[in-house]
């Protein structure tokens, strides 16, 4: 069993502590876990915001709709033009909205 019984004191400036706390908060880890991971050489990434998962779901939904339209078009050699236009419009609106979010 690997028990962590050793500790140490580190002295930081206010600015250094603020930067450490900012990075710890972004990582979602405890301060101790964050320092251990950094010491182990882990490349810590900031978890994506919750909106990322909503974006991903919405794009996946639109992509699935367009794939279904393409599948039917390949089989029947005809395309449901209204469904296609509706999904392309949704995709364009979503893209425009997404770009405004990250200007």
103 residues of the chain, pLDDT tens digit each: 678 888 889 999 999 999 999 999 988 899 999 999 999 998 887 777 788 788 888 888 888 888 888 888 888 988 888 888 888 888 888 888 877 776 6
pTM: 0.49
Q: Dmax of the chain from CA atoms?
A: 72
Burial of 38 from C-beta contacts in 10 A (0-12 / 13-18 / 19+):
middle
> Under DSSP, is residue 40 helix (H, G, I), strand (E, B) or coil?
coil
């Amino acid at each position: 069993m690997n028990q962590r019984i050793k500790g140490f004191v580190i002295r930081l400036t206010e600015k250094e502590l603020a930067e450490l706390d900012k990075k710890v908060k972004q990582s979602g880890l405890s301060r101790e876990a964050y320092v251990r991971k950094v010491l182990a050489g882990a490349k810590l990434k900031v978890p994506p915001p919750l909106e990322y998962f909503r974006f991903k779901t919405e794009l996946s939904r639109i992509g699935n709709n367009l794939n279904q339209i393409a599948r039917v078009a390949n089989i029947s050699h005809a395309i449901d033009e209204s469904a296609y236009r509706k999904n392309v419009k949704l995709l364009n609106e979503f893209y425009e909205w997404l770009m405004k979010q990250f200007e």
